[in-house]
Amino acid sequence: MNLENMLTYTPIQWQLVAHILILGFASMAAGFVYFLTTMRDVAPRYRISSVLGAIVMVSAFLLLYAQWQAWQTTFAFQNGEFVRSEGIFSNGFRYLNWLIDVPMLLLQLVVILGLGAAASRRLGTIFVGSGVAMIILGYIGQFYEVTNLTALWVWGGISTVFYIILLYYVWVEIGKAVERMPAPAAATMKSIRWLFLIAWTIYPIAYIMPAILPTADGVVLRQAIYTVADITSKVIYGVLVTKVAVDLSKAEGWTSLSSETEREMVSVN
Ligand code: RET
């Protein structure tokens, strides 16, 4: 059972969480449109990265929409505050969503790193393997956040080992890739490296919230942290990845489909 279910909320706290969840799924819808419309500016060899971005948007949209609905039905307004009524609110669904999104986000990176087939397969395997292990261990740990804080820390600790392996490979592989990339793409890659370190590391803070701030304010803060992390690690990240893909495509002589089509239309006329 998650901490969210054990507390009561003032109308402001309850609304803040509802609004934060809406901000989350609205951003995913916006990102979806962005990845689809910019796809034609990307050369075929990098285009799957936009497809992966769009898949992340759809799955995150559905998850956050469901979380928002659950927040509305789980609590009812009584005597000036929001108290638990029917069902439970579970953050566990987020972890299952990450099982889809984390591999997709990491594979987006593999695509724009521009490695050969064998090196891409090897790195993809390390990324997906450590990402999935990290999430499953955290998923188990979060079940204990109210009943057994030691279990929460232990599962979280083991999960962190896989997270550090993951971060190490992300850091090192981006470092190698910037050496061979043209300047604009290399600069964006460096931002992506920092984005990884910061945006991904705030998820564990949300995970340990029941140990550090087990209050209604802690719940509001946790949902805010999840949302900031989601928008940064999925939407802003995807925009930066697209920018790298467009820069690399241009450097490799790819002219976007739209400008080609426009030119054709002009010559027909
Ligand atoms: C857990 C458990 C506690 C220890 C660590 C964790 C890391 C979670 C991360 C999640 C990233 C999620 C993303 C989702 C995007 O869709 C599992 C909370 C280290 C890094 C990027």
Residue extents of the structural domains in the chain: 3-258
Site to substitute for ligand 1 among 96, 135, 231, most atoms within 8 A of C-beta: 135
DSSP string, 145-170: TTT-HHHHHHHHHHHHHHHHHHHHHH
Residue 127, both tokens: 């990324």
Tell how strand 81-84 and strand 75-78 pair up.
antiparallel
Site to substitute for ligand 1 among 2, 136, 163, 235, most atoms within 8 A of C-beta: 163
Which pLDDT does position 40 carry in this prediction? 92
Provide the 3-class DSSP secondary structure of residue 172.
Answer: helix
pLDDT under 50 in the chain at which residues?
A: none
Q: Which residue minimizes the CA distance to atom 6 of ligand 1?
A: 204
* Secondary structure of 79-121 as H, E, C letters: CCEEEECCCCCCCHHHHHHHHHHHHHHHHHHHHHHCCCHHHHH
Which pLDDT does position 76 carry in this prediction? 96
Backbone angles phi, psi at 81, to 5 degrees: -140, 165
Residue 151, both tokens: 């279990």
Q: Which residue minimizes the CA distance to atom 3 of ligand 1?
A: 156
Backbone angles phi, psi at 77, to 5 degrees: -85, 120
DSSP state of 40: G
The CATH topology of domain 3-258 is Rhopdopsin 7-helix transmembrane proteins (1.20.1070)
Dihedral, CA of residue 146, residue 134, residue 25 and residue 225, to nearest 10: 60
User: Residues 24-52: pLDDT tens digits?
Assistant: 999 999 999 999 999 999 999 999 999 99
Which pLDDT does position 268 carry in this prediction? 65
User: Residues 214-230: pLDDT tens digits?
Assistant: 999 999 999 999 999 99
Which pLDDT does position 257 carry in this prediction? 64
- Distance (angstroms) between ligand 1 centre and the Cα of 139 equals 10
